[in-house]
Structure 1
Amino acid sequence: MSQQVDSSISVPAPIPSVRALQASPEVLTPVRHGFLWKRSRLFKTWISRWFQLDTSGFLYAVSPKVIKREGQSVLPSPVREVLQLPPKRYRNGATMYGIRVISVGGSCKDLYTDDHAALDAWALDLSRCTQTAREQAAASKASAAAAAASQPPLLLLPPPPPSARAALGGAGELHLSDICEVDWSHMLGSGLFACVLRARMHVTGEAVAVKIIKAESFREYSDIIDREAAVWAAAGQHPHIVQLKQTLRSSDRMYFIAELCEGGGLVERLATSATYCEREVAWLVRQLLAAVEHLHSNAIVHMDIKPENLVFATRREDSYIKLIDFSLASFFYSPTDPGGTPDFVAPELLNRPEYYSKNGCGPEVDMWAVGVIIFFLLSGQTPFQAPTLEAVLLRVKTGEWAFHGRRWALVSEGARDLISSLLKMDPSQRLTASEALDHPWLRRPDSLSQALLQDAVTAFRLAAAASMQQQRTSWVKQASGDLMTTTGTNGTNLSPHTSLSRFAVMAGSVGPASFGGGAAAAVATGMSSAVMGAALTTG
């Protein structure tokens, strides 16, 4: 890459450490700053962000005005290498010049600008950080080795069996035994991006689920996984939300230790009910809304509320439900690549993707999904059901739905009113979680019908049978080394219940899947919603 730099850009002298404090720590002098472009993971559109390289690190934000308050690290660890990328053509015909910035931990970020000289200046300053990063890494390694030499040997887990090693993508030992004993013979599920195993905590003896992010996934999606950990931890403890007990990370893996829910998936349980009625639906909805209200009170939007992400805590008949899977969740109005699941995604995310990518999402998107859930629980189908994924997305974008068919003859007017109050195209017109909990239909459950919702139960049985067949097929393929994938193009091989996380959703088209996906995507990779009773998703 050329070292010619625009004379209008002052190139500072090399800094001792990109993370070192200056003599006057309250004053941060930018080393390099300006707008750069990146490609959105979800919609593959160009997004402009303000980037700043200074003595506090390599940060980015929506604009320079908020960089001090809302600046996020571009990479989770110091810069290791800067590579030149082939030019790309922007939609207005301009040529975009790019660099790939790679961290010590292996994660990377591709950045672009139409100013070749400015890009060279960025590359020069970022490259100056690489030697410092190497020196810091070497010093850290030496310090860790010295500390380890002064401590008793760390008790390691025995090497996992070949099947588990293959699922995790590596043969290394896992340093978890100081916290819990992992049962390598009891794998709850394995997907393309993670593995979930049963474990037992040493101190309490409690059975837990351990979600282990595979090494290659952690390296490529570390920022997404870090966000999931932060949001899930912020959710805290609630009776209707699966609790994250502890998060551990090594240089190339992340471990989530969470409570173990063994009651099975929502649809699988309801498929066996002989007394399923509107009163029971109201009981389930109150629990879901309590969970959503708690998340929203903590400024968290779940982004992927759907039946596959609701599990029963235990196998007891009176077991309550819990909300799982925070792989798409984020804090209110934080810039992010919005995702969701076709049948449950709010229409504004499909109609204005760039706006929500820049400004983030609020609680309204979850309330839309709750409305779809209630419709689904009462009828056994979603309001936007259609033969193809493209048709589903079109119906969602236009808000085309109605109470059709005989299955609604047994449903009260109160239930219909609550659904209609949530499925408003204008997000500001939707009920909040607190308002929905105060709706008359939920305030007087004893007055609701106990007539069997036969059409819904029949639909649940068909869905559960299809899920189990898909699970058995996938396990056979995994045993033979032929792992199934959840990727597809224009809807191929994808269900309307598969998460849109990292899908390119633009004008109804769907591109390759990546991290995330909830139970439905997990089913396609060898895990049923019952397996997801581990209260985790493997992507």
Structure 2
Amino acid sequence: MGCLCFRSQQQRAVVPMDKEEDDAGFHELKRQVTTTSTAQDEFLHSSWQEENKVPFARRRQRSREEGGETISYSNSFMSRTSLKFFRRNSVRPSPSTAVLLQQSLSMTIDGSILRKYSVHKIIGKGAFSTVIQIEDKATEKQYALKVIEKKRSFHTNVPWERELNILKKVHHESIVNLIETHATTSKVYFVLELALGGDLQNKLSSIGHFSESKAHYLLSPLLDGLRYLHKHGVTHRDLKLDNCLFKTNDEDSPILLSDFGLAYLQNKEKENEGMQTTCGSAEYISPEMLEGEVYTNLIDMWSFGVITFATLSGKMPFQDENKAKLFRMIRNANYSFDDDIWDAVSDAAKDFISQLICVETQKRLSAEAALKHSWIVNDGINATS
């Protein structure tokens, strides 16, 4: 059985520094950001196996051929009537606690990093890494520092080298930029472009949904970034609202695609071969991946369709508390535009989504073809405000 890596929302809690609490808050914070939801993860692992009967055993060799990839599963499948009601848990320490936190973080970061950067706060935590906001002492420019534990990454078959190779290879205005890297015997540090505006998931949680013209403005450049990745042999495999980051807090801020921890770089000698490792987040996963079939970068296009649907409506196209029902909905592309909110959305936008959330892969739009769709080409002319 291949290893399962879980990316729970609890592990990615944002840690603002502005609410009064006693020093006990620091100990709770330290506990929260240094532990994982083991019991919950084990439950999800067994639930996936029991309710979906995915033939993992026969994928073991295939996973090795894909570079020792890890089967990833997220608990983000929990049903939500609307994304507007979704909130992340956060811990808010007092100013004195913030100082203690910075001291604690500094003790875990290599001196070569600390000589150049000052530590601000934790802005995310995943199964294998922690993301910290840092500042260049010389320029006062802020960045995101991703800290990966080598040992943990190795034992979970999520090699940090693959993510590093991809980040070094890609350069696009809609993709988070790698600034520099550092490595020790136990940890790897990625200094990345910092997106200050939060993610698309949180934005939709607060505003409900975007107008069609705004959605077009945000998603068109992101689609071009996806085209760029696919052209260079990269399949993201974890496209979701959480990984779409606003570059700034400005009203017209563009979106950057982030988190290449599960991405796959196609070997040039095997460019015609597909992938088979099951990974990503359940509400965005494609039918062919659910079925254990060999898949291509078209899985990203399915996920992009889900993102487009959610951006325009504030709801996920597939949602059910029962995981078996959720996956059945995905396999059959059982979604609709019946909600009243879709009355104000153009037919072009609906057609665009329908050609992305399409079970038949031969009919699903590629990134190149999607950029030629009328909804994208008309530059919002057909979009309603």
Give the structure-1-normalised TM-score: 0.50
The 3 A distance-change label for structure 1 pair 438 and 40 is: same
Higher alpha-carbon deviation: 276-285 or 207-216: 207-216
Q: 1:410 to 1:331 in 2, by over 3 A?
A: same
> Deviation string for 1:440-479 (max 9, x for gaps)?
112223433444xxxxxxxxxxxxxxxxxxxxxxxxxxxx
Secondary structure (helix, strand or coil) at the match of 2:282 reads: coil
Q: SS state of the match for residue 283, structure 2?
A: coil
State how many pairs are aligned.
Answer: 301
Check 1:342–1:218 CA distance in 2 against 1; reply closer, same or farther (3 A cut). Answer: closer
Quote the residue 2:162 is aligned against.
Answer: 227
Task: Pick one of 248, 256, 266 that aligns with 1:314.
Answer: 248
User: 8 Å contact 2:348–2:382 — kept in the other structure?
Assistant: no
Deviation at 1:319, TM superposition (A): 0.9
Hey, what's the Cα distance between the residues in 1 that align with 2:303 and 2:247?
A: 22
Alignment of 1:75-224 (within 5 A): 163=101, 174-177=110-113, 180-183=116-119, 185-191=120-126, 193-201=128-136, 205-214=140-149, 217-221=152-156, 223-224=158-159
Cα deviation code 1:224-252 (max 9, x no counterpart) = 322222222222x2111111122222111
Give the letter aligned to residue 176 of structure 1. Answer: S
Q: Could you say which structure has the higher strand fraction?
A: 1
Aligned twin of 1:41: 3
Q: Deviations over 1:79-132 (max 9, x none)?
A: xxxxxxxxxxxxxxxxxxxxxxxxxxxxxxxxxxxxxxxxxxxxxxxxxxxxxx
Whole-angstrom distance in 2 between the partners of 1:412 and 1:326: 33
Residue 175 of structure 2 corresponds to: 241
- Pairing partner for 1:390 from 309, 315, 324: 324
Distance 1:413 1:392 in 2: 26
Q: CA deviation at 1:288?
A: 1.7
Please list the CA deviations of residues 268-317 of structure 1 after superposition, one character each: whole Å capped at 9, or x if unmatched.
33555599421111112202201101111111011111111111101111
Matched, 1:421 2:339: no
| Structure 2 CA distance for aligned equivalents of residues 270 and 195 of structure 1 | 24
Alpha-carbon distance between aligned partners in 2 of 1:405 and 1:181, rounded to the nearest angstrom: 49
Change (3 A) 1:283 1:212: same
In structure 1, the residue matched to 2:200 is: 266
C-alpha deviation, 1:203, in angstroms: 6.5
Consecutive unaligned residues in structure 1, runs of 5 or more: 1-38, 51-59, 63-69, 75-159, 452-539
Change (3 A) 1:372 1:207: same
What do residues 156-214 of structure 1 show as CA deviations (whole Å, max 9, x unaligned)? Answer: xxxx976467679xx5561324873131x433344553322222346655321111124
1:296–1:385 CA distance, 2 compared to 1 (3 A): same
More helix by share: 2
Q: Identity percentage over the alignment? A: 26
Alpha-carbon offset, residue 400 of structure 1: 1.8
**What SS does the aligned partner of 1:383 have?**
coil
Q: 1:438 offset after TM fit, Å?
A: 1.3
Conserved 8 A contact 1:212-1:255: yes
User: Equivalent residue for 1:111?
Assistant: none
Q: Judging changes above 3 Å, is the alpha-carbon distance between structure 1 residues 334 and 366 closer, same or farther for their aligned structure 2 residues?
A: same
Q: Does 1:337 align with 2:277?
A: yes
- Measured at CA, do residues 431 and 221 of structure 1 come closer, stay the same or move farther in structure 2, by a change above 3 Å? same
Is the contact between residue 147 and residue 188 of structure 2 (CA under 8 Å) also seen in structure 1? yes
| Greater shift in the superposed pair: 432-441 or 292-301 | 432-441
How far apart, CA to CA, are the structure 1 residues paired with 2:226 and 2:263?
12
Please tell me the residue identity of whatever aligns with 2:160: I
| Range that drifts further, 305-314 or 201-210 | 201-210
Q: Provide the C-alpha distance between the structure 2 equivalents of 1:191 and 1:330, rounded to a whole number of angstroms.
A: 18
Asked if the contact 2:237/2:280 (under 8 Å) is kept, the reply is yes
Q: Which residue of 2 aligns with 1:156?
A: none
Greater relative contact order (CA < 8 Å, ≥ 6 in sequence): 2
Q: Deviations over 1:391-433 (max 9, x none)?
A: 2112112222222222221111111111111122121211111
- 1:371 aligns with 305
Q: Is the 8 A contact 1:372 1:383 kept in 2?
A: yes
Corresponding residue SS for 2:368: helix
Corresponding residue for residue 506 of structure 1: none
Structure 1 residues 388 and 48, CA gap change in structure 2 (3 angstroms): closer
Distance 1:418 1:244, change over 3 A: same
Measured in 2, the distance between the counterparts of 1:428 and 1:314 equals 37
Quick one: distance in 1 between partners of 2:239 and 2:61? 29
